Amino acid sequence: MPKEQKVEYSQLEAGYEFPPSSYKLDSSMVAMYLKAVEDTSSLYQDTELVPPMAVAAYAMAALSESISLPSGTIHVSQELEFIDTVSIKDTITSYAKVSRKQSRGKFHLLTIELNVFNQRQKAVLAGKTSFILPAYGEDT
Amino acid sequence: MEMGLGQLAELSEGMSLPEFRKVVTQEHINLYAEASRDFNPIHIDEDFAKKTPLGGTIAHGMLILAYVSQMMSAAFGRSWLAEGKLTVRFKTPARPGDTITVSGRISKIEKSEGQTSIHCDVLCRNQNGESVITGETKVRIEKWK
């Protein structure tokens, strides 16, 4: 995944679209993921299937490489929809967009939409991730 | 379709999904950081984490959420991978040494022409009974047998 310059949280507004991020999956990436989450399901043994939560993790990683969030940021909620299976041979592209940024007292609520497609431009995953962050100047 | 819960027709509202437990270790958190490329120091740097209000490292929320997905794929097989949906809230951080119990219950079964949607309430709680993740899942299955 190419390294993009991180966007400061304070610069984000609803509607902001992050640069898309593509990456080629491979069996070693998936094996490391399965080991980390201790998933020994037969679904992934001797098959080319990728756990959908691994795809979500890669999309979140792409997002975290694009945005600079202050310390004290808390991941509060997550929505995910698995739309199609993903193969270890796939190249997936993740798109992220700020759908909501609200001020709530000393905190901000930031919601980002995620959409992931395979190399055939078929949607494989969609979701929303929400964070609570300290308001500007409240960074710890 | 794999159906860890048995035949689809035998499912009923109120039925529990097979529960399991996972012990969170720093080793697994570090591995998850590598796998997901999420190297936030709150997860992997004990010295940094000790100086924060959390007082120590915590697991990635998505790591614990992966356990929920495991429960769902164990119960509903490939259908979960291609037709699954979840909405959750992260309530309490999971820390190294925590034992996380992952559980779920079928809350609603919707049958329509050619397909069935199964709604579940899901929960991850720690050894103190505190909710770590709460939420709902939905999986669509093509044929009701």
The 10s digit of each residue's pLDDT in A20-45 is 999 899 999 899 999 999 999 999 98
Domain A14-134: state its class: alpha beta
Residue numbers in B near A81 (CB within 8 A): 84-85
Select from B25, B32, B37 the residue whose CB has the most chain A CBs within 10 Å, as the one to mutate to test that interface: B37
CB contact under 8 A, A52 and B36: no
Structure tokens at B129: 């009974």
Which residues from chain B sit within 8 angstroms of residue A80, using beta carbons?
Answer: 84-86
Alpha-carbon distance of B16 to A139, in angstroms, equals 43
Helix axes A52-64, B61-76, angle to 10 degrees: 160
Closest CA to A126 of B86, B89, B64, B6: B86
| Distance between CA atoms of residues B74 and B72, nearest Å | 5
| pLDDT at position A140 over 70 | no
Q: What single letter denotes the amino acid at residue B4?
A: G
CA distance B12 to chain A (A): 23
pLDDT at A18 over 50: yes
pLDDT for the residue numbered A139: 44
Contact B73 A81 (CB under 8 A): no
CATH number of the B11-141 domain: 3.10.129.10
Nearest Cα neighbor of A90 from A61, A125, A66 is A125
Structure tokens at B45: 């740097």
pLDDT at B5: 54
Asked if the ipTM is above 0.85, the reply is yes
- Flag whether pLDDT at A1 surpasses 80: no
Between B43 and A8, residue with greater pLDDT: B43
Asked whether the CA dihedral A49, A54, A60, A61 is positive or negative, the reply is negative
Contact (CB, 8 A) for A37 and B70: yes
Give the DSSP H/E element, type plus range, for residue A31: helix A27-37
Average pLDDT of B122-142? Answer: 97
- What integer is the mean pLDDT of A68-83? 90
Q: How far apart are CA A133 and CA A19, in angstroms?
A: 22
Q: Which of B35, B17, B38 lies closest to B84 in space, CA to CA?
A: B17
pLDDT tens track for B50-96: 988 889 999 999 999 999 999 999 999 999 999 999 999 999 999 99
- The pLDDT value recorded for residue B143 is 63
Q: Using CA coordinates, name the residue in chain B closest to A49.
A: B81
In angstroms, what separates the C-alpha of B4 from chain A's closest C-alpha?
11
Please name which of A103, A75, A95, A111 lies closest in space to residue A18, comparing C-alpha atoms.
A95
List, in order, residues 6 or more apart from B5 with CB less than 8 Å away. Answer: B11, B15, B17, B18, B75, B76
Chain A residues lying within 8 Å of B38, measured CB to CB: 57, 60-61, 64
Of B143 and A45, the structure prediction assigns the larger pLDDT to A45
Q: What is the pLDDT of residue B118?
A: 96
Highest mean pLDDT among A24-28, A134-138, B120-124: B120-124
Q: Euclidean distance between the first and final Cα of chain A, in Å?
A: 30
Joined together, the tokens standing for residue A93 give 């592209």
Q: Cα angle vertex B62, ends B56, B63, to 5°?
A: 70
Q: What is the pLDDT of residue B58?
A: 95
How many C-beta neighbours within 10 Å does residue A120 have? Answer: 9
Q: Name B101's Cβ contacts closer than 8 Å, sequence gap at least 6.
A: B19, B20, B21, B124, B125, B126
